[in-house]
Structure 1
Amino acid sequence: MRRAVEGLGTPYPIGAMLPAVFQEDPVAMSWTGALDEVLAPAISTLDCLAAYVDPALAPPDFVPWLAGWLGTVLDENWPLERQREAVAECVRLFRGRGTVDGLRAMVQLATGGEVEITESGGIRWSTTPNSPLPGRAQTHLAVRVTVAKGTPVDVTVLEELLVAEKPAHVPHSLEVVER
Structure 2
Amino acid sequence: MRGGVEGLASPYPIGGLLPAVYQEDEFAQRFTAGLDDVLAPVISTLDCLEHYLDPALAPDDFLPWLAGWLGVGFGGHLGPDRRRLLLAAAGDLYRRRGTAGGLRDHLELAFGGRVEVEDGTSVTVRTAPSRPADSVGTASGEHPVLTVRITPEAAVDHAVVERFVAAAKPAHIPHAVEVRAG
Shorter-chain TM-score above 0.5: yes
AA at the equivalent of 1:171? P
Alignment of 1:35-50 (within 5 A): 35-50=35-50
Q: CA deviation at 1:122?
A: 5.9
Match of 1:154 in 2: 157
Match of 2:177 in 1: 174
**SS at structure 1 position matched to 2:44:** helix
Q: CA deviation at 1:171?
A: 2.6
Match of 1:133 in 2: none
Match of 2:22 in 1: 22
**SS at structure 1 position matched to 2:179:** strand
> For the residues of structure 2 that align with 1:85 and 1:120, how far apart are their CA atoms?
29
Post-superposition Cα deviations, 1:109-143, rounded to whole Å, max 9, x if no partner, equal 222122122223468xxxxxx7xxxxx53523222
Instruction: Mark the runs of 5 or more structure 1 residues left unpaired by the alignment.
Output: 124-129, 131-135
**SS at structure 1 position matched to 2:180:** strand
TM-score using structure 2 length = 0.77
Q: CA deviation at 1:18?
A: 2.1
Q: For this pair of structures, how many residues does the alignment match? A: 166
> For the residues of structure 2 that align with 1:6 and 1:153, how far apart are their CA atoms?
39
**SS at structure 2 position matched to 1:156:** helix
> For the residues of structure 2 that align with 1:96 and 1:172, how far apart are their CA atoms?
18
Does the Cα contact within 8 Å between 2:83 and 2:110 map onto a contact in 1?
no
> For the residues of structure 2 that align with 1:96 and 1:116, how far apart are their CA atoms?
16
Post-superposition Cα deviations, 1:29-63, rounded to whole Å, max 9, x if no partner, equal 22222221221111111112122222222222221
**SS at structure 2 position matched to 1:175:** strand
Q: CA deviation at 1:13?
A: 1.0
AA at the equivalent of 2:57? L
- The yes-or-no answer on 1:141 pairing with 2:157 is no
AA at the equivalent of 1:67? A
TM-score using structure 1 length = 0.79
AA at the equivalent of 2:31? W
Q: CA deviation at 1:10?
A: 0.7
Match of 2:131 in 1: none
**SS at structure 2 position matched to 1:98:** coil
Q: CA deviation at 1:19?
A: 2.6
**SS at structure 2 position matched to 1:11:** coil
**SS at structure 2 position matched to 1:142:** strand
Alignment of 1:114-125 (within 5 A): 114-121=114-121
> For the residues of structure 2 that align with 1:96 and 1:120, how far apart are their CA atoms?
18
Alignment of 1:6-155 (within 5 A): 6-121=6-121, 136-137=138-139, 138=142, 139-148=144-153, 151-155=154-158
Instruction: Mark the runs of 5 or more structure 2 residues left unpaired by the alignment.
Output: 128-137
- Aligned residues: percent identity? 51
> For the residues of structure 2 that align with 1:147 and 1:33, how far apart are their CA atoms?
53
